[in-house]
Amino acid sequence: MTVSGIGMTSQRARARMLERLKEQGIKDPVVLAAMNAVPRHPFLEESIQQRAYDDTPLPIGQGQTISSPYTVARSCELVFRGQTLDRVLEIGGGCGYQAAVLSKLAKEVLSLERIAKLVGRARLTLRELRINNVLIKNVDGTLGYRSAAPFDAIVVAAVMPYIPEELKLQLKPGGRLVAPVGAGESQRLIVVEAEPEGGFKERELEAVKFVPLLSGVS
């Protein structure tokens, strides 16, 4: 794996990706800048790096996928909202790409991934990209990480049947959680906001497709 990656086409491909994200409705200039700043190809096996900037999820091994650029940008825009984020929790870290994008929007990112092989590879890629404000832990993330809470934002990168109350309670007042909820072909992106006076406000957004969030560590 090389960070320099796929030759002279990389920056041009990233520029095309940014234009497509704008056409798809991503407006926040800070989020777009973060998407531009983080190359996607180093997080993939060399055999599929030429597809890195296509708007599609791609396999990363262990039965997992890297989310499409639009899905990553959409989740980031929903939690960022032009605000400075101190601490963000990511559940389902995978290859580390989304955590790398979040690292440009937050002071600190804690990413949880249950598959040790993915954690090792993600750590190596982040180190090669000199991204130093992401901590990836090989743990079961189904109920978050209470000992490090509260978080300004929580981003879940695998589909859940429902959002546990335990996870909502790890948000700071005013914080947001973004997660796909459902099963199989019936999945929707859900945004939960922790209201300053207490309680939670929930919105259902567009249809999405993610791999399931599984418990346990491997």
Residue 81 has pLDDT above 80, yes or no: yes
Domain extent for 81: 9-207
User: So which residues are the catalytic ones?
Assistant: 67
Please state, for a pLDDT cut of 90, what percent of the chain lies above it: 80
Q: In this structure, what CATH number is given to the domain that contains residue 56?
A: 3.40.50.150
At 187, the amino acid letter reads Q
Within a domain: 103: yes
Task: For 101-160, write each residue's pLDDT tens digit.
Answer: 999 999 999 999 999 999 999 999 999 999 999 999 999 999 999 999 999 999 999 999
Within a domain: 218: no
At residue 85's C-alpha, the angle toward residues 217 and 72, to 5°, is 60
CA-CA distances (angstroms) from residue 156 to 31, 93, 134, 144, 206?
17, 9, 16, 9, 15
Number of structural domains in the chain: 1
> Model confidence at 2, in pLDDT bands (50, 70, 90)?
very low
CA-CA distances (angstroms) from residue 54 to 35, 191, 199?
13, 26, 39
Do 107 and 87 meet the contact criterion of CB atoms below 8 Å apart? yes
Count CB-CB contacts under 10 A for residue 5.
Answer: 18
Read off the pLDDT of each residue in 8-37 and give the average, rounded to a whole number.
Answer: 91
